[in-house]
Amino acid sequence: MGDHRFYLVVVGAKSGEEVANQLFSGEDPGCAVQEKEGQVLLDYELPGDDRAEVIKLAITYVSRRLGCEIREFNPQEESLLDQLIRKARHGKDETTRQNAILNLGIPEDELELDDPEEQEEWELRKQDRINLLKDLRQDSSPAIREQAITALKNLGITG
């Protein structure tokens, strides 16, 4: 068995510092705590099959100490739609967010995805996309608000 590198995402955490302080009480967490695009990632690299045990322990600690949900995150397995949703919400800068928002507003019949499963995911999760874009109309940035409105119009949603 080779080494395994994986991420656990702490959903709902305010910052990496909050996670490090509360979750590990100043002790060495045995992982890197990173903040990336609005998410707190626990970056583990483990030998062999220790992964399942660490995930179980981490989930227990997080739920007890932080009241946050935790889930495994594998950047290589993240779908295009999930990437765009994450970038629209928490992109590293406004341009990244704007581009993701515009892409979320592409109607399903205009998508040219190679993977039929990916195409189906876009169709099944259309309402998720619309809800996110409606939320982004309230963003503090005028440019983000404008992009969200344009994306909604592209999907046939007005008002």
Note the pTM of the prediction, 2 decimals.
0.54
Q: What pLDDT shows up at residue 133? A: 92
Is 67 within a domain? yes
Domain identity same for 134 and 95: yes
Q: What pLDDT shows up at residue 2? A: 43
Across the chain, which has 159 residues, the per-10-residue mean pLDDT values are 57 69 63 69 63 66 64 67 81 86 87 82 86 90 93 88
Q: What pLDDT shows up at residue 148? A: 93
Q: 159: which 2 tokens?
A: 């008002």
Q: What pLDDT shows up at residue 128? A: 85
Residue 136 structural domain: 80-154
Measured between alpha carbons, how far is 137 from 158 in angstroms, rounded to an integer?
12
Domain identity same for 116 and 146: yes
